[in-house]
Amino acid sequence: MGALAEILFGGLFQGSLYAMMAVGLALVWTTIGVFNFSHGVFMMLGAYFAWQLVEVGLHPAAAFPLAVLATAGVGWLLQAAVVRPLIGRANLVLVVVITTLAAGSLIENGVLEIWGPRSKQLPPLVDGNTMIGSIGVSLHQIAIIVVTPLILGALWMFLTRTRLGLALRAVAQNEDASQLVGLNVTALYGLAFAIAAGLACLAGIFMGGYRFMSPVMGADPLLKALIVVVFGGISSISGPIFAAYLIGFFEAACSYYFGLYWTPALLFAVLILTLMVRPEGIFSSRGRGLA
Amino acid sequence: MMDPIKRNVRAPGRTPWQREAAGFMLGFAVLALLPFVFADSYSRHILIMAFIYAIVASNWDLSLGYGGVFNFGHLALFGIGVYAYALLTKLAGLDPWLALVASGVVATLAAVIVTIPILRLKGIYIILVTFGFAQLVMQVIISQSELTGGTQGIVRIPGLYLFDHNMVRDAKIGYFGIALGLLAASTIFLRMLVRSRTGASIVALRDNEEYAISRGVSLVRQRLITLAASAFFTGIAGAFYAAYQRNASIDVFGMSLATIVLSMVLLGGTGTIYGAIIASFVLTFFGEAMADFGAWRPMITAVLIIVVMLVYPSGLVGMIQAAWAGLTGRLKRPA
Amino acid sequence: MTPILTVEGITAGYGRVTVLNDMSLEAGRHGNVGFFGPNGHGKTTLLRVVSGLLRPKAGRIVFDGEDITGKSARAIVGAGLIHVPQGNRIFPDLTIADCMSLGAYSARARPHEAENREKVVALFPKIAERWRQRVRTLSGGERQMVSIGTALMSHPRLLILDEPTLGLAPRIKDELCASVLDISKGGVPLIVVEQDIEFLLELCRQLYLINHGTVATEIKPGESIAHAEIMSMYFGQHQDH
């Protein structure tokens, strides 16, 4: 019973973080058709923004949303600087990988210059600890497990129930036709990046609340998000969400039974096997489209 | 009977091999003379590092630029070379030169293994799987710490030898010579491959997969050849790096090294081999020139990469061509 | 009557390839206009330039007295010039209902959304039955109806159709031609690219033969022209090669 509870809780918790990161990657991929390798840096930058705002005396309830907005703004700017000018290039995917990597390295080193290498920590969403059965958990972790589905649900509603969300889904499917119904394609590209960056910032706030922050804290979550989207298929955003939780549970179970050392290797082995059987991910359909 | 027209026809923009060979000899002759200009071991160290980067980047250009296969595990092949050499010499006690070649073979085998899951994949999925492969290799090396030293790495790896030449107190001339020799061998191998019929079919597959397959080009075989060929000298470069540095660490799997080498490939302009080599030299020396900037160095490098990518889609080669066109245009105009 | 669309000396192409070469024409002085001519000679490129998808290298485009050269596709849609592109892929994973709301995305079309939706439903009762179905599940003819319906939702002042009957079965094609005629009777001026000359002759009083990226022949209203003559124009052009 204890094992099950531990795996369940660990899986939900990790899955929430992965989903938060992966959805942003998938959103940018589906709308623009590029992979944003500075996504992990958005997460780190968002956590630092939040830390700075709390540091100047803002209540977290004000600081966190402001940090999300600021990171979303950076996402928009980054898109305008290193993605939009390249649209239409023959090797767009590859060139954007390198420009977003370079932009990420620029931000990472900038953060190191501004905030220094010393580890920092954010206040948790909710203070305190509790027991679930026999295992002790922090309320911060429980808050993450509860808040993440709400935010992802809100994103889902936005994409499927609003005209702006509809426009984003349309751009993902056919750019020419989107222009011909009068959509502002460049603004929608910016919006996709901004939303993705905002979600990454939230993930950063979640992580900064229970682990020390550092300028390289985004590297590992980016990697995990990449695995999640490969696993779930990048042609939708619901696929990566399911995959995020699935991988969360897989990791929790692996580290329970085989230990932490072997978990990443097992995960990659399963990933590569999955792709040999289903090259486009386990939850994907053909074609590219949001929702 | 030979078609009289066909005999004189050559592919547009393709340099005749005699001219390329002459340029190649000249270029490498200049490189071989460099240690006489730079006699101190630090300058020679920079040159050796530039040669290693050049081998890794130009081999990456084979899979990325010619093959259109976005192999983001290329640096893992280099890392495999590093660790294969370290383990073969230190644990198995193999002769360093044998281990060097064996490391190239091990990297080639690894490339064949990673090719299998990506045979059916395209574009971004290849990036993700090969990226995952690189991480897998790194995780395995970390977790097998009894053999590999885990995150601590391996130290005191046996170096290479040249007859009874003293490799330690020679101001690095020995390693310079070996590095230059490896770069020359790798470049000749790559250029001969891309100029061959096999090279043409690799490019055909990249440019129009359906058509190439319908004309009898085998996707499976060609992808295997592309990746395996790009791995051999990359693995040897890794082994050489391990022998030269005398240690191995998992840093070679990190994103920062991959970013730098990838920018060498892209800055050089893909699908040229020489572009990647030139860009490796430029970026290595540029990085050295900026050593005084300290923490600003990676930021300046990042901005430089972005600017070149935005302004010159075809990289430094395109930049040189544009500059050349501008220059000749200016020279012609006053007449 | 002033022309609703004037194209003056347009030169355009892709990269170093020039497709349109100093092309001039005007449309709307005498009702609907038809373009025809061999494939790959610039009809679709012309439409892409007119609707702002492709920036011309030279020339001027005037829509209803306003210079729209170099304006964004969004601004041109906002002015009421609506282009239904060739092929019927539009938004494969959106429902018909989604497509219709997207059609009414521009500020100009928003107030007329309900009224236009009724028009579309009346015109294409077939797609009204499948309102919540994804476009990719529809037949070719139905998808073309969704394309045209989406364009009508944009409240067009000029509607451009690029080969609306391409690849359709004869019965579906007749149905669609009838609908296009209905749209025209409803007062929306049309520019239509078609390979089916009979249909063009029925719909339009003014025709342009487009060849080698320029206007080869203009057939003005009142000039009677037989099918055979048009065919000989095609062949005449081909014999030049």
Residues contacting C171, CB < 8 A, separation 6+: none
B302 reaches A (C-beta below 8 A): yes
For B260, the 3-state DSSP assignment is helix
Residues contacting B221, CB < 8 A, separation 6+: none
Give the span between the Cα atoms of C194 and C39, in whole angstroms: 10
Q: Please determine, for the modelled complex, whether the ipTM score is greater than 0.85.
A: yes
The answer to whether A170 and A12 are in contact (CB under 8 A) is no
Average pLDDT over residues C41-57: 90
DSSP for B35-61 reads HHH--SHHHHHHHHHHHHHHHHHHHHH
With beta carbons under 8 A apart, name residues in chain A contacting C82.
180
Q: Give the one of A230, A261, A273 whose C-beta lies nearest to B125's C-beta.
A: A230
Give the span between the Cα atoms of C12 and C37, in whole angstroms: 18
Give the span between the Cα atoms of C29 and B74, in whole angstroms: 63
Q: What is the pLDDT of residue C227?
A: 63
Question: If you measure CA to CA, which chain A residue comes closest to C152?
Answer: A181
C113 reaches A (C-beta below 8 A): no
Give the span between the Cα atoms of B246 and B75, in whole angstroms: 19
List the subunits that have 3+ CB pairs under 8 angstroms with C.
Answer: A
Q: What is the pLDDT of residue C99?
A: 94
Name the minimum distance, in Å, from the CA of A266 to any CA of chain C.
35
The token duo for B129 is 């799987």
Q: Best residue in A275, A282, A286, A288 to probe B by mutation, most B CBs within 10 Å?
A: A275
| pTM of the full structure | 0.82
Average pLDDT over residues C35-62: 89
Give the span between the Cα atoms of A33 and A28, in whole angstroms: 7
Flag if B127 and A280 touch (Cβ within 8 Å): no
Question: What does the pLDDT profile of chain A (291 residues) look like in tens digits?
Answer: 578 888 888 899 999 999 999 999 989 988 888 889 999 999 999 999 999 999 999 999 999 999 999 999 999 999 999 999 988 777 788 788 888 988 998 999 899 999 988 889 999 988 888 887 777 888 999 999 999 999 999 999 999 899 999 999 898 888 889 999 999 999 999 999 999 999 999 999 999 998 899 988 988 888 888 888 878 876 677 888 999 999 999 988 988 888 777 777 788 778 777 777 776 676 665 455 555
With beta carbons under 8 A apart, name residues in chain A contacting B255.
101, 219
Closest to A91 in 3D by CA, of C79, C215, B318, B195: B318
With beta carbons under 8 A apart, name residues in chain A contacting C105.
163, 167, 181-183
Q: What is the pLDDT of residues C158-204, one digit of tens each?
A: 999 999 888 888 888 989 899 999 999 988 999 999 888 888 888 88
Residue with tokens 């990161």: A21
Flag if A280 and B256 touch (Cβ within 8 Å): no
Give the span between the Cα atoms of C55 and C186, in whole angstroms: 32
- Going by beta carbons, is chain A in contact with chain B, meaning 3 or more pairs sit under 8 Å apart? yes
Q: What is the pLDDT of residue B6?
A: 43
B220 reaches A (C-beta below 8 A): no
Q: Give the one of B139, B298, B309 whose C-beta lies nearest to A264's C-beta.
A: B139
Q: What's the domain count of chain B?
A: 1
Name the minimum distance, in Å, from the CA of C107 to any CA of chain A.
9
Name the minimum distance, in Å, from the CA of A87 to any CA of chain C.
14
Give the span between the Cα atoms of B65 and B267, in whole angstroms: 12
The percent of residues in chain C predicted with pLDDT above 90, rounded, is 44
- Look at residue B226 and tell me if it is in a domain: yes
- Look at residue B4 and tell me if it is in a domain: no
For residue B266, what is the domain's CATH number? 1.10.3470
- CA distance readout (Å), B255 to A271, B55, B135: 20, 19, 10
Question: If you measure CA to CA, which chain A residue comes closest to C135?
Answer: A173
With beta carbons under 8 A apart, name residues in chain C contacting A170.
91, 94, 98, 102
- Rounded to the nearest 10 degrees, the angle between the axes of helix A163-173 and helix A185-208 is 110
C144 reaches A (C-beta below 8 A): no
Query: Domain residues for B168?
Result: 19-332
The token duo for B272 is 């040229």
The token duo for A268 is 């990659």
Name the minimum distance, in Å, from the CA of C184 to any CA of chain A.
20
Helix (H) or strand (E) holding B191: helix B173-195
Q: Give the one of A229, A261, A269 whose C-beta lies nearest to B143's C-beta.
A: A261
- What backbone phi and psi angles, to 5 degrees, belong to C143? -65, -40
Q: Give the one of C84, C105, C109 whose C-beta lies nearest to A167's C-beta.
A: C105
Flag if A109 and B299 touch (Cβ within 8 Å): yes
**Alpha helices in A130-237, H assignment, sequence order:** 139-161, 163-173, 175-180, 185-208, 219-232
Query: Domain residues for C149?
Result: 5-239
Kindly report the CA angle at C3 between C1 and C8, in degrees rounded to 5? 150
Flag if B309 and A101 touch (Cβ within 8 Å): no
Give the span between the Cα atoms of C129 and C160, in whole angstroms: 26
Name the minimum distance, in Å, from the CA of A181 to any CA of chain C.
5
Flag if C93 and A177 touch (Cβ within 8 Å): no
Closest to A31 in 3D by CA, of A191, A163, A157: A191
Closest to C195 in 3D by CA, of C184, C213, C210: C210
Q: What is the pLDDT of residue B203?
A: 84
Give the span between the Cα atoms of B53 and B233, in whole angstroms: 11
The token duo for C206 is 């003014």
For residue C123, what is the domain's CATH number? 3.40.50.300
For C83, the 3-state DSSP assignment is strand
Residues contacting B314, CB < 8 A, separation 6+: B269, B321
Give the span between the Cα atoms of C212 and A21, in whole angstroms: 52
Q: Give the one of B121, B295, B305 whose C-beta lies nearest to A279's C-beta.
A: B121
Instruction: Please name every residue paired with A130 in a beta bridge, in sequence order, or none if there are none.
Output: A137
Flag if C53 and A184 touch (Cβ within 8 Å): no
C53 reaches A (C-beta below 8 A): yes
Give the span between the Cα atoms of C218 and A150, in whole angstroms: 62
Name the minimum distance, in Å, from the CA of B206 to any CA of chain A.
12
| E strand spans, chain B | none
Q: What is the pLDDT of residue B328?
A: 63
pLDDT along chain B (335 residues), means of 10: 42 70 89 87 91 95 87 93 94 92 96 85 78 82 81 85 77 90 95 88 81 79 90 96 91 82 83 89 86 79 84 69 65 47
Give the span between the Cα atoms of A12 and A69, in whole angstroms: 26
- CA distance readout (Å), B210 to B122, B218, B226, C239: 13, 11, 18, 34
Residue type, C183: I
With beta carbons under 8 A apart, name residues in chain B contacting A226.
128, 131-132
Q: Give the one of A95, A230, A268 whose C-beta lies nearest to B136's C-beta.
A: A268
The token duo for B287 is 């990085």
The token duo for C120 is 């579309």
- CA distance readout (Å), C162 to A161, C84, C159, C165, C193: 31, 6, 10, 9, 5
Name the minimum distance, in Å, from the CA of C102 to any CA of chain A.
7
For A156, the 3-state DSSP assignment is helix
Q: Considering just the CA atoms, what is the radius of gyration of chain C in Å?
A: 18
The token duo for A147 is 């808040």
Name the minimum distance, in Å, from the CA of C90 to any CA of chain A.
6
Q: Best residue in A180, A184, A237 to probe C by mutation, most C CBs within 10 Å?
A: A180
Closest to C1 in 3D by CA, of C23, C28, C24, C22: C28
B293 reaches A (C-beta below 8 A): no
DSSP for C219-238 reads E-TT----HHHHHHHHHHHH
Residues contacting C73, CB < 8 A, separation 6+: A179, A180, A182, C51, C52, C53
Question: If you measure CA to CA, which chain C residue comes closest to A289?
Answer: C93
Q: Give the one of B116, B123, B259 whose C-beta lies nearest to A105's C-beta.
A: B259
For C36, the 3-state DSSP assignment is strand
List the subunits that have 3+ CB pairs under 8 angstroms with A.
Answer: B, C
Residue type, B88: L
The size of the A-C interface in CB pairs under 8 A is 71
C55 reaches A (C-beta below 8 A): no
Q: Give the one of A102, A219, A272 whose C-beta lies nearest to B306's C-beta.
A: A102
Flag if B299 and A105 touch (Cβ within 8 Å): yes
**Using the 8-state DSSP alphabet, how is residue A110 labeled?**
H
Flag if A98 and B123 touch (Cβ within 8 Å): no
C105 reaches A (C-beta below 8 A): yes
- Look at residue B205 and tell me if it is in a domain: yes
Q: Give the one of A163, A177, A178 whose C-beta lies nearest to C101's C-beta.
A: A163
Name the minimum distance, in Å, from the CA of A262 to any CA of chain C.
40
B266 reaches A (C-beta below 8 A): yes
Flag if C52 and A166 touch (Cβ within 8 Å): no
Q: What is the pLDDT of residue A272?
A: 73
B150 reaches A (C-beta below 8 A): no
